[in-house]
Structure 1
Amino acid sequence: LGALFTTSAVVGVILGLALQDTLGNLFAGISLHADKPFQVGDVITVGQWTGVVESITWRAVKIRTFANHIVLVSNSSTAKESIQVCPRNNLNARIVFFNALYTDSPAKVIHVVREAVREAANVSQSVVPIVRIRNMGESSVDYEVKFWLEDYAKYNDTDALVRQRIWYAFRRASLNFAYPTRTLHIERAHAATVSSNGASQRDSRIVERLSAVDIFAPLSPEELTHLSANVESHVYAPGEIIIRAGETGATMFVLHRGAVEVQVADNGHTRTVARLGEGDFFGEMALFTGAPRAANVVAAEETEVLEIGHPALQHLFKTNPRLVEALSHTIAERHAGLKNSEKFSAEDEPEAEGLLSSIKRFFRLD
């Protein structure tokens, strides 16, 4: 009998040791299901692993890492670790760092970056991004932008998109990133020559682009040169909104390179009604008549636009009255084309005359 008890005890110890991990996983799994510290679809960090939870069983938690690897973390290990959870149905924040020169106004940097980041895909529209100075470095002002994500599982792609949007926004706003530099002293005459040559090449390209725009056909070479000297060049990333429907504006745009899509709201959805390419123009109605923007115009690829403002055209209108009439006919013809008219005809003349009156009134040319 004693031998039997001894044998039973040994067997019990062996079974206990054999089932230790299994029972540990089982009870840990029961605890996870009861407490529900995370759910399928949440992003979690357990030990060295970070990824999206795909399943929770009685034995292990299945995680898909952002390298697309499958990791099974035993429930007993999960119960022993500190777990960082980014719930799927929660707005989780991210922070991206960048810098700027000391010569750039912090107020301008903060405004430009905030507006650029809030338009990025997957960035929540319900919380305004926070941009702040985090450090005053030796050669730069260091900033951070904090934003909230709709889907935290896409944070790597969103971080990259935010950095891209900041780069393009900096370029449009003539802001500069700080980086190690070396100051060179160059003779003034040589520097002036280099600067003059660069400006001359840029001006000639802009004049060439504007001369190909039909509404500017009546302009003389001197007038085109004057107009080109008063335009501003901006570069937009794919997907960025250049103008927004309903907003007021005092400029029009000529596509220097790239392409844009014209989008309108249609029963709660966005519908693309036109795609414009190099040499096309848009935003003219807001500039010439003061009407609100009629549609969103979105960069379809990396796009450079030439922005033409009210003062430059007002000067040309006063010196060249033919431009006002030519412009009104061109806009009327374009709008007729959008209405699927085959060509501009005498039936559209009242619209052209109405536009001519509106332009003269808006620019006070009567």
Structure 2
Amino acid sequence: MSALPFDTQRAAATLIAFVGTFFIALTVGRILKRRAGVRLGILFQLFCLALAFYSAMWTYGVAIDLRNHVGTALLVLSAAIVVALIDRYVWDWYFEKRKHTPIPHFPRQIVALVVYLITLLMVLWYGYHASRWLTGLLTGSGIAAIVLGLAGQNLLSGVIAGMSLQINRPYKVSDWLKVGDTYGEVMEINWRSTRLRTNDGIYLDIPNNEIVRTTIINLHYPTEVHAMRIRVGVDYNVPPNRVKDALARAAQSAKNVLLSPPVKVFLVEFGDHAVTYEIKYFMGNHARFNETNDAVRTNVWYELKRQRINIPYPIRTLQLERRSQPAPEGHEEARVILRGEPLFQCLSDSQIDNLVKQSELNHFGRGERVIEEGAEGDSMFILLRGAAEVSVSKNGSTIPVATLRSGDCFGEMSLLTGEKRSATVRADGDCYVMEISKDVMADVIRDSPDCLRKLSELLAKRKMETEGILKDVATSSADQAAKQREYTATFLRRLKTFFAL
């Protein structure tokens, strides 16, 4: 009669063990999921069920063999918890949160597979005592692994190299790399290869096991700012410092070239037919490399042309024929323009011819500044061909005020009085310009003292027009005449002082 109460108590204890173990394990899982962010799925629920079942059998006293089977299932399912903990605390917390290194799915899956494989081997070895069978299996699989390893050596090395690149992150998507002699933007990094796109839109797929064996230059690390270099050959007769100044000015004003760090120019070689200089400039995103290089080379050509610095051809033996020297291009146009300009009407034809012959002809490319507002100046310009935009700065903004066409003159106040430039003139397209310097104008004025008085009167009249005195009805003729005499005398003194007469 006492056996029934005993069985009832054991059954109740078994039920309590089953239910209690299941809900305790499930509660621990929910705490890990909600508070620690551990991702637990259906396998964890099966683990909880197997654990509760094993606890109930142990409480009831079920045979050892059956308990071993359930314990084996429990051990296999526990591997899922280990994988989830590795995902949360190794991959997510340590690498991504602390090291800021995202780990792709492929290495995560490889580690999970290793965990499950080790668990399975432990169950077979210790749970079912299959050591002899496993030894034979591992020996045979080792031979097969060698064969497969030799066959898939490149694939495996690519996968390992890809994992190394993902963890070390020497570059990222959108970075520009130099791999060998190739420049390319990183478009994709996967477990097998790195895909680059060149400036010509050509895609290159480079296996990771090859890219890790070469020197990788990341042009965008730690920032996008990086230096590029261009070489230019220049005539031996030109002093190096003069060439360096000209090349630095040309490169610094080119499109996409950064102001800081500044452009640097080095003399790198004395060649067979030229002195070679290297321009080192800094730029941002390398995607603009082609247009930046083009802008630098174009500005160099125009600047060297203005400075009368030759880019020599390779030395050859030539047979030369002497011919009469033609008149420089643009002189006739300049003579016609100067004869119609009021400032020069006091000069004779021979004086205008001399003025034109002694002046310089210069080329300016699209976007280049001919003169800059606020800069020192002692020359004027005649726009022979092309168009240019006149602008002034006001409250930090650039305001266009006029457009110059062929035949227009500008900069005469700086030529005659030495005043700073009152506006910026920038070429709209390719411009051909004559520059009349102070020294050339001084020779003309010395030969024609009467011009000094006429120039003073003309400048005084322009100043009165600018100030609105001539249009002011309230100002009497006597007052206007007095103001005219005052301004004329002032400009006469300034002209004599400026030209040291």
Instruction: Please state which band the TM-score falls in when normalised by the shorter chain.
Output: 0.7 to 0.9
* Residue 42 of structure 1, CA deviation: 2.4
2-side partners of 1:39 and 1:167: how far apart? Answer: 38
Q: Is residue 2:449 matched to residue 1:318? A: yes
Residue among 300, 304, 309 paired with 2:432: 304
2:195 paired residue number: 62
Residue among 341, 347, 350 paired with 1:222: 350
* Residue 72 of structure 1, CA deviation: 3.5
1:73 paired residue number: 206
Matched AA of 1:345: K
Aligned 1:148-167 pairs, distance under 5 A: 148-167=282-301
What TM-score, normalized to structure 1?
Answer: 0.79
Residue among 218, 228, 232 paired with 1:94: 228
2:19 paired residue number: none
2:215 paired residue number: 82
Aligned 1:27-176 pairs, distance under 5 A: 27-46=160-179, 49-58=182-191, 60-87=193-220, 89-176=223-310
SS of aligned partner of 1:291: coil
Q: Deviations over 1:271-292 (max 9, x none)?
A: 4332212112222333333332
Greater shift in the superposed pair: 38-47 or 107-116: 38-47
Question: How has the CA–CA distance of structure 1 residues 53 and 17 changed in structure 2, closer, same or farther, with 3 Å as cutoff?
Answer: same
1-side partners of 2:491 and 2:392: how far apart? Answer: 24
2:335 paired residue number: 207
1-side partners of 2:316 and 2:203: how far apart? Answer: 45
What TM-score, normalized to structure 2?
Answer: 0.60
SS of aligned partner of 2:212: helix
2-side partners of 1:158 and 1:216: how far apart? Answer: 43
Q: Deviations over 1:21-58 (max 9, x none)?
A: 77765554443343221233322123564212234345
Aligned 1:318-357 pairs, distance under 5 A: 318-320=449-451, 321-330=453-462, 333=465, 345-346=471-472, 356=488
1-side partners of 2:320 and 2:182: how far apart? Answer: 52
SS of aligned partner of 1:364: helix
1-side partners of 2:269 and 2:194: how far apart? Answer: 40
Which structure carries more helix by proportion? 2
Q: Deviations over 1:197-239 (max 9, x none)?
A: 425x753332123234454345443342232233211111112
2-side partners of 1:353 and 1:19: how far apart? Answer: 99
Contact conserved, 1:213 with 1:279, CA < 8 A, in 2?
no
* Residue 164 of structure 1, CA deviation: 1.8
1-side partners of 2:345 and 2:375: how far apart? Answer: 29
1-side partners of 2:283 and 2:379: how far apart? Answer: 33
Greater shift in the superposed pair: 235-244 or 78-87: 78-87
Contact conserved, 1:212 with 1:279, CA < 8 A, in 2?
no
SS of aligned partner of 1:164: helix
Contact conserved, 2:334 with 2:382, CA < 8 A, in 1?
no
* Residue 184 of structure 1, CA deviation: 4.7
Which structure carries more strand by proportion? 1
1:198 paired residue number: 327
Q: Deviations over 1:227-270 (max 9, x none)?
A: 22332111111122222222111111111111222233344443
2:495 paired residue number: 363
Q: Is residue 2:391 matched to residue 1:263? A: yes
- Higher Cα Rg: structure 1 or 2? 2
2-side partners of 1:304 and 1:287: how far apart? Answer: 19
2-side partners of 1:295 and 1:204: how far apart? Answer: 28
* Residue 309 of structure 1, CA deviation: 1.9
* Residue 94 of structure 1, CA deviation: 2.0
Contact conserved, 2:267 with 2:275, CA < 8 A, in 1?
yes
Question: How has the CA–CA distance of structure 1 residues 323 and 362 changed in structure 2, closer, same or farther, with 3 Å as cutoff?
Answer: closer
Question: How has the CA–CA distance of structure 1 residues 70 and 268 changed in structure 2, closer, same or farther, with 3 Å as cutoff?
Answer: farther
Q: Gaps spanning 5+ residues in structure 2: where?
A: 1-129
Q: Is residue 2:363 matched to residue 1:232? A: no
Superposed CA RMSD in Å reads: 3.9
2-side partners of 1:218 and 1:154: how far apart? Answer: 53
SS of aligned partner of 2:295: helix
Greater shift in the superposed pair: 171-180 or 271-280: 271-280
Greater shift in the superposed pair: 285-294 or 92-101: 285-294
1-side partners of 2:306 and 2:168: how far apart? Answer: 50
Q: Deviations over 1:158-184 (max 9, x none)?
A: 222222222212211111122234455
* Residue 293 of structure 1, CA deviation: 1.8
Identity of aligned residues (%): 28
Greater shift in the superposed pair: 91-100 or 54-63: 54-63
Question: How has the CA–CA distance of structure 1 residues 105 and 275 changed in structure 2, closer, same or farther, with 3 Å as cutoff?
Answer: same
Matched AA of 1:209: I
Which structure is higher in RCO with an 8 Å CA cutoff and minimum separation 6? 1
2:34 paired residue number: none
2-side partners of 1:312 and 1:329: how far apart? Answer: 24
